[in-house]
Amino acid sequence: MSLTLDLLRHGETERGGGLRGSLDDALTAHGWQQMRHAVAARGGWDRIISSPLQRCRLFAEELAANRHLPLSLAPGLQELHFGDWEGHSAADLMLTDERGLGLFWSDPYGFTPPNGEPVLDFSARVLAAVQRLNLEYPGQRLLVVSHGGVMRLLLARARGLPREQLLSVEAANGSLFSLTVAADGQLREEG
């Protein structure tokens, strides 16, 4: 029995772009609007699963209340922790750590930001969280409110991309994608 995941990325945050990671900043009014718009014509979910960070959780709580759906928090679906790079934009890092940024962009699995979470560990954490969902909710359709890095990882795996192309996957604020998780854990993107 397969599980369907509708992946919703949080909207724009108060501190803007850049590497947010484990920073717990709030959504802007535009960010709330992006997320509401993304789910306005969608539904059929059995449950909502959310990252515990407020840029995901607060919207998930509102939507769960409005649609009378159960909500669970999944710490395993939090964003990659960028260590010393958290809160900085790529433009900032071009001035302070151009070499490191270049290494990270060319092979995120091969280079870890200083004091950051290795992408290999992040990948294992996210895939373990998805496997838990697959075991707990077989045959259900879940809305997963999460982060760009989580979505890029899952979409890259579903598309069969090599690991070096992880950061080439687009996942804009407020974007919504659908995946099927087979009983064996294989991911497939839905049309």
Annotated catalytic residue, options 79, 86, 88, 147: 79
β-strands 187-189, 176-181: how paired?
antiparallel
Strand-pair partners of 50: 73, 145
Measure the CA–CA gap between 31 and 9, rounded to whole angstroms. Answer: 10
pLDDT of 17 higher than 90: no
Encode 22-41: b = buried (16+ Cβ within 10 Å), e = exposed. ebeeebbeebbebbeebbee
Q: How many structural domains is the chain composed of?
A: 1
Q: What range does the domain containing 104 cover?
A: 3-189
- For the question of residue 79 being annotated catalytic, the response is yes
**CB contact at 8 A, 28 and 164:** no
Distance of CA 136 to the CA centre of its chain: 20
Residues 130-160 pLDDT 10s: 999 999 999 999 999 999 999 999 999 999 9
> In angstroms, what CA-CA distances link 78 with 96, 103, 113?
26, 23, 17
Helix (H, G, I), strand (E, B) or coil at 115: coil
Q: With bands split at pLDDT 50, 70 and 90, how would you rate the model's confidence at 1?
A: confident
Measure the CA–CA gap between 147 and 188, rounded to whole angstroms. Answer: 19
Instruction: Assign residue 84 the CATH number of its domain.
Output: 3.40.50.1240
pLDDT of residue 18: 84
Annotated catalytic residue, options 10, 81, 88, 147: 10
pLDDT of residue 191: 73
> In angstroms, what CA-CA distances link 72 with 60, 136, 137?
9, 12, 12
Looking at residue 86, the DSSP 8-state letter turns out to be T
